[in-house]
Amino acid sequence: MRRYLLISFIGILFVILAANAQPASAIGTRPLERNPRPHPTRAGVASHVCVPSLVWRNPELCPSYGPGTTAYRMASIHLPDPLPELPVLDLPQADEEDILPHTYAHVTILPLDVYTHPMQAAMGFPPARTMLSGNWWVSVDGKVEFEGQEWYQINENEFIVAEALSFASPSRFRGLYLTEQPAHPFAWINRWNVQPSILPQGALNETVNPLHRYQTVTLFAEEKRGDEIWYLIGQDQWIEQSNVSRVDVNPPPAEVEPGGKWIEVDLFEQTIAAYEGERMVYATLISSGRTATSTPPGIYRLWAKIREGKMSNPDVQDGSPAWYHIEDVPWSLYFHGGYSIHAAFWHNAFGFQRSYGCVNLAPQDAKWFFDWSDPFAPEGLERLYIGEGSPNTWVWVHFSSPFEETEEVEEQN
């Protein structure tokens, strides 16, 4: 008897639930936000996982995890047709000889004597100075030959032997000038030969071409799978988060006046963006400080613009393996003590941490930021120190890990 009563009770309960069920509302493409919201639950904190049929009937009753919810969310993604292109203006590429104001070279033989003239070396005179150790980069002004040996001039009355130098090959990468506010987040591929997958953590989509380093993609949706985040960049094309450096449009910090210029530096994504008020006008990749020499987060204002200047390690002297000295670093924007945004001609690792604390840019990007930022520095003005009351540009440096935000959402759920 009890068995029949139990069966009858379950049947009545099922009828009541079916009568009260409402059809699931279409959610369209899941918004790709930095803080995606889970489905709300009536109990506030879900203690169950829904089967697919219940998710499709009543998604508001279900948590944001489980196979049913995942299938529902994936099926609800609707890509725009046609896929929109980023609203960018193609900027002309500078000729190779015009990318930098000087020819630069790395000193490969240390210690290295520097002479006021090659004749002094031939006559056995002592050097004017000696480069002892570390990492030296010099700007080369010309080449001379003396008694069959080639020498390079690196400064006025300073010559070093030619075989001690290896010339720089500056990066030709440059960022994007945006003609209007992008409607979706976008990113650069930061690795070589990234093959999209048909589904997150799924089989590779061999019908599309692999993606290459510095290629731009638009991010239309995202999915978290275990410890990974996956982005949808096209039909049946998902790529894992570590393969990209992402850019999001963010509102200006409270300190920025309406319409004012400001720069956003994202230390997690290794990207930088220039804004005029709320509108993003330019974005590109950076290399910020390594873990031991990290770039300090904060909100700053520019205090100097230096067209060319020497940079060295302030913590050690020449003779230490940690010493570095770089001559004539171009287009530096100083925002916090000795920290600056400047050109880096000595590497092509943009999108990854690389520096001693400054924000490295590819040369063409560094010149764009230098010319765009307030106050304006006319050609011929080598140093501009910015006083109170002058037009200025804010710099917001922050670390925005999407994994931390995902964890916050899971805690809320």
Residue with tokens 């959610």: 27
Indicate whether 28 pLDDT > 70.
Answer: no
Same domain (yes/no): 162, 284: no
Same domain, 215 and 330: no
Q: What is the pLDDT of residue 32?
A: 55
pLDDT at 214 over 90: yes
314 located within any domain? yes
395 and 278 together in one domain: yes
Are 365 and 262 members of one domain? Answer: yes
Instruction: Clarify whether residues 322 and 389 are in a common domain.
Output: yes
Q: Tell me whether residue 91 is in a domain.
A: no
Residue 161: CATH number of its domain: 2.30.30
Percent pLDDT > 70 in the chain is: 85
Residues 330 and 300 in one domain: yes
Euclidean distance between CA atoms 234 and 79, whole angstroms: 8
Provide the domain limits for residue 392.
249-405
Tell me, yes or no, whether 14 lies in a domain.
no
Give every CB contact of residue 205 below 8 A, 6+ residues apart in sequence. 195, 196, 197, 198, 236, 237
382 and 254, same structural domain? yes
Q: Which candidate, 272, 267, 308, places its Cα nearest to that of 101?
A: 308
Number of DSSP helices (H) and strands (E) in the chain, helices first: 6, 26
Residue at 332 is within a domain: yes
The answer to whether residue 12 scores a pLDDT higher than 60 is no
The total number of structural domains in the chain stands at 4
Q: Which of 380, 344, 393, 338 is nearest to 364 (CA)?
A: 344
Alpha-carbon span 218 to 231, nearest angstrom:
9
At residue 375, does pLDDT exceed 90?
Answer: yes
Q: Whole-prediction pTM value?
A: 0.85
Q: Do 118 and 222 belong together in one domain?
A: no
Q: Is residue 254 domain-shared with residue 379, that is, in the same domain?
A: yes
Boundary residue ending a domain (243, 272, 293):
243
Q: What's the pLDDT score for residue 369? A: 98
Q: Is residue 88 part of a domain?
A: no
Pair (326, 267) in one structural domain: yes
Residues 239 and 322 in one domain: no
Task: Please report which confidence band the pLDDT of residue 2 belongs to, taking 50, 70 and 90 as the band edges.
Answer: very low
Does 81 fall in a domain? no
In a domain, 172, yes or no: no
Q: Do residues 305 and 383 both lie within one domain?
A: yes
Structural domain includes residue 3:
no
The predicted-structure confidence for 79-118, as pLDDT tens digits, reads as follows 988 999 999 999 988 998 899 999 999 999 999 999 999 9
